[in-house]
Amino acid sequence: MAVFSILGRFKTARHALLRRLFGKSEHFAFRTTLLAISILIVVAFVCQSTAARDAGPHREQLIKETFTHENLHRTYYVHVPPNYNPATATPVLLVFHQEYSDPKAMSKLAQFNEVADQNGFIVVYPQGVQGLWNDGRRTDAYRVNDVGFINDLLTMLERRWHIDPRIVCATGFSDGGFFVQYLALKLPGRLTAIASVAANMQGVLVNKLRLKGNVSVLYILGMDDKIVPFLGGPIDPNRHGQNRGICASAADSVSFWVKNNKCGGDYTSEDYPDVDSTDGTRVKVARYQNCPAGNEVVVYAIQNGGHAWPQSRPVGKSNVGKVCRDFDSSDIIFRFFSQHGLGSHR
């Protein structure tokens, strides 16, 4: 009985204290309930925040980061795989958007984040100033030092994300494809391998620059591309009033990289499986693999293919020609880069 009496007095005292805190008795039940709900909300928020913090940066699809380069505010986005370990040097893939695009659109188009999650590498999507890249064509008085930006970005990524400087791959679509080729020539030894989609080589560079060292090169090119002609010539010739420069033919572009990588002239050729017979395209693959230091030059030439990023999923109506759906570019590019170290540190 003494125990029940003590408990009774404790409950009475507790209620009296709550009445003093919350006022009149007619509001007591409501305010007590409100207090309980508030406490639960705070606890839930703290637990959720702690879980997100402990889960690490990979929970964010894209992490926006910035720094100032030559008085310009430069932006890039980072995707980190779930198994990222800051104590271990991690390979990195740089992905460059097309003209007047942006990193988020390129991430959605290219679909590299899932590949990175499965294979343990970091993906970085830089942003061009006004959606453009200075790729050596020097058109429209565009003079931003994008090569210097990427050079400094790589140094920053080593400190910030502990990327492995020995395994830096780069790919780009359209103008981004022009730019990765320019980077390989202007930053010798920085890039392990590059892949250009819908972009031959800039005509002005073929006879002007030479590769110092070596770099493996992959091309994915539409043979009916009306923007960047497979046979070479003016870039986007139907855009009136704007000079976008000249591109070399696909053959001359391949020859440049084969010669500069000191590869033999022999190559193998094959037909890629016609996985989707309704897309109106077929794919020829040529491989130059008789190169020093394990380098190679590979070309996926898409018959009837337009100015597009090939992908197996439906892309709707295209205004740039036929889109090859026999393969996903991200898969082909990763498999090529994996031969040169990307994803080997899982």
* Blockwise average pLDDT, block size 10, the chain, 346 residues: 40 42 42 43 37 40 95 97 95 96 95 95 97 83 87 97 97 97 96 97 91 95 97 87 87 96 94 96 97 94 97 68 95 97 72
Structure tokens of 253?
Answer: 């572009």
Give how far the C-alpha of residue 87 lies from the chain's centroid of Cα atoms, to the nearest Å.
23
Backbone angles phi, psi at 216, to 5 degrees: -75, 145
What's the CATH number of domain 62-338, 3.40.30.10, 3.40.50.2030, 3.40.50.1820, 2.60.40.790? 3.40.50.1820
Nearest Cα residue to 339 out of 276, 261, 287: 287
pLDDT value for 139: 61
Cα torsion for 20, 22, 23, 25, to the nearest 10°?
Answer: -100
- Return the bridge partners of 168, or none: 92
Q: Which amino acid is at 149?
A: F
Number of Cα atoms under 13 Å in the Cβ half of residue 17? 6
Delimit the domains of the chain by residue range: 2-54, 62-338
**Burial environment of residue 242 by CB neighbours within 10 A (0 to 12, 13 to 18, 19 or more):** exposed
Q: How far apart are CA 60 and CA 184, in angstroms?
A: 30
pLDDT value for 345: 54
| Maximal C-alpha separation, the chain | 103
pLDDT value for 313: 73
pLDDT value for 320: 86
Number of Cα atoms under 13 Å in the Cβ half of residue 58? 17
Q: How far apart are CA 227 and CA 256, in angstroms?
A: 21
pLDDT value for 244: 83
Q: How far apart are CA 190 and CA 44, in angstroms?
A: 47
pLDDT value for 265: 86
Nearest Cα residue to 204 out of 172, 244, 236: 244
Q: How far apart are CA 227 and CA 209, in angstroms?
A: 24
Q: Which secondary structure element, helix H or strand E, spans residue 142, and what is its range? A: none
pLDDT value for 228: 96
Q: How far apart are CA 107 and CA 271, in angstroms?
A: 29
Q: Among all chains, which residue has been given the structure tokens 């391998």?
A: 193
pLDDT value for 48: 38
pLDDT value for 13: 43
- State the alpha helices, DSSP H only, in the chain: 2-22, 28-55, 103-110, 112-119, 146-161, 175-186, 203-206, 250-260, 329-338
With H, G, I as helix, E, B as strand and everything else as coil, classify residue 221.
strand
